[in-house]
């Protein structure tokens, strides 16, 4: 492939990534690596239970890559970079491999991941994770491939920071949901009242909110905004509370440390909950996933003492409550969480629901209740928040009881 380095630069590769790539120019692939043999791909696809059409597409992509020395060298480099610390997507910007001008460039990302499969399986095996859980977890690769095909019309896979969860064996697909080891990185802390276990979330210092308590963006139509204040001393917490329904309150509270204690703050270990784009959001199945997690992590990762489950998702925009029926899976799911505002955008919900971030809801086909609800809110002058963040502590997990949504700020 001509001018490959220039193309990779144009596709967003960072300078340190490119510098490492350019060092391989005088080091052509001496022999065909194992992962460029069709037998390797067939075995990998069989292990992951991939559909026949995806196996065929990956086999064809390998055949194309083997005819081009530069693409072969690129795949070897990407595989080694994915397994390294400095050049992983977590620490540097990768090029958009799926946009390279070759016939099956969309599959370069997935082939890179499959080339790392022995190392990935080894990392999960070292932790003693059951084989079924490993297979289920790695099924995410095909889910992402199919989602790419649905949006673009061809098979593909985009390398992102997300893949690091699998390389490090830090994500697990249990039933309907995925759970990833992570640190709480949101600017909200959760307090617990010692007397009765009631929870309350406070915003950290300097967060922008609209008058209605949702996150404020500079281009929001709402002219009224305010900024959170927070103070912690050896005697009290003082700050702006957030209702369990996801709205920050302008009136601050002072909470004595003799009565309240912090149960979740930034950098605390958590389990990040992710909802794979596969199957229905069945409420009972989601609850079963949480039950599995409560058994799984103490058994297989007993040293990982997480403080809470957290989730940031378009599904947690609390405004769905009111635009969808009470028994809708989305509404039932979000009401299990203590919601807090996030800096999302309406375009995020539009993209998730309609497949395009800039869709015109006046002209699009509204063929299900979710699309109708999203359009109704916009056409009535409303603004979707693009999602919300959510917290559930293990001690409060009582699926179906909507524990936090029964609490009210006024009762504190």
Residues 103-119: tens digit of each pLDDT = 788 999 999 999 999 99
pLDDT at residue number 134: 98
The total number of residues shown for the chain amounts to: 412
Tokens 């009210």 map to which residue? Answer: 408
Instruction: Flag whether pLDDT at 234 surpasses 60.
Output: yes
Is the pLDDT at 287 greater than 90? The verdict is: yes
Question: How far apart are the C-alpha atoms of 189 and 11, rounded to whole Å?
Answer: 38
Q: Packing angle between helix 52-66 and helix 69-82, nearest 10 degrees? A: 120
Residue 374 lies in a domain: no
Count the domains in the chain. Answer: 2
Q: For residue 391, what are the β-bridge partners?
A: 310, 338
pLDDT over 90 at 160, yes or no: yes
**Residue 340 and residue 223 in one domain:** yes
Q: Residue 114: what pLDDT?
A: 96
In this structure, is residue 401 part of a structural domain? yes
Kindly indicate the confidence band of residue 77, based on its pLDDT and cuts at 50, 70 and 90. Answer: very high
Tens of pLDDT, residue by residue over 300-319, are 999 999 999 999 999 999 99
Average pLDDT of span 51-77: 92
Task: Please tell me whether residues 153 and 208 are part of one structural domain.
Answer: no
Are both 186 and 159 inside the same structural domain? no
Return mean pLDDT, the chain.
92
Is 195 domain-assigned?
yes
Domain enclosing residue 29, as ranges: 4-169
DSSP 298: H
User: Is residue 233 domain-resident?
Assistant: yes
pLDDT score for 25: 79
Token pair listed for 398: 């009582």
β pairing state of 308-313 and 269-274 = parallel
**Is the confidence at residue 405, as pLDDT, over 90?**
yes
**366 in a domain, yes or no?**
no
Distance CA 43, CA 193 (A): 54
Kindly state the tokens that stand for 12. Answer: 């967003």
């Amino acid at each position: 492939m001509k001018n490959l380095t220039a193309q990779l630069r144009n596709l967003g590769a960072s300078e340190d990534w490119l510098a490492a790539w350019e060092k391989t120019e005088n080091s052509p692939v001496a022999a065909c690596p194992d992962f460029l043999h069709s037998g390797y791909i067939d075995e990998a696809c069989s292990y992951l239970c991939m559909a026949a059409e995806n196996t065929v597409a990956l086999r064809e992509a390998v055949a194309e890559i083997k005819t081009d020395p530069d693409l072969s060298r690129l795949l070897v480099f990407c595989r080694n970079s994915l397994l390294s610390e400095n050049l992983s997507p977590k620490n540097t910007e990768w090029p958009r491999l799926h946009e390279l001008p070759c016939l099956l460039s969309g599959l370069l990302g997935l082939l890179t991941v499959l080339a790392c499969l022995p190392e990935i399986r080894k990392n999960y095996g070292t932790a003693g994770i059951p084989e079924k859980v490993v297979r289920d977890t790695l099924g995410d690769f095909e889910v992402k491939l199919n989602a790419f095909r649905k949006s673009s019309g061809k098979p593909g896979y985009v390398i992102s920071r997300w893949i690091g969860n699998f390389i490090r064996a830090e994500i697990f697909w249990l039933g309907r949901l995925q759970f990833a080891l992570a640190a709480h990185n949101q600017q909200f802390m959760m307090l617990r009242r010692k007397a009765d276990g009631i929870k309350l979330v406070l915003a950290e210092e300097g967060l922008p909110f609209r008058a209605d308590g949702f996150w404020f963006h500079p281009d929001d139509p709402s002219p009224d905004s305010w900024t959170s204040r927070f103070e912690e001393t050896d005697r009290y917490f003082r700050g702006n509370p957030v209702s369990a329904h996801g709205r920050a309150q302008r009136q601050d509270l002072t909470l004595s440390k003799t009565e309240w204690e912090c149960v979740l703050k930034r950098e605390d270990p958590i389990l990040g909950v992710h909802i794979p784009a596969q199957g229905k959001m069945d409420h009972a199945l989601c609850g079963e996933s949480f039950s599995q997690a409560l058994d799984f992590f103490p058994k297989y990762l007993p040293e990982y003492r997480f403080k809470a489950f957290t989730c940031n998702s378009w599904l947690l925009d609390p405004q769905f409550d009111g635009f969808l029926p009470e028994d809708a899976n989305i509404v039932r799911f979000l009401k299990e969480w203590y919601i807090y505002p996030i800096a999302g955008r309406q375009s995020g919900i539009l993209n998730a629901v309609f497949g395009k971030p800039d869709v015109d809801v006046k002209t699009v086909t509204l063929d299900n209740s979710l699309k109708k609800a999203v359009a109704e809110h916009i056409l009535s002058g409303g603004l979707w928040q693009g999602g919300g963040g959510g917290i559930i502590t293990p001690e409060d997990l009582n699926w179906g009881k909507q524990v936090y949504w029964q609490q009210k700020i006024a009762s504190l």
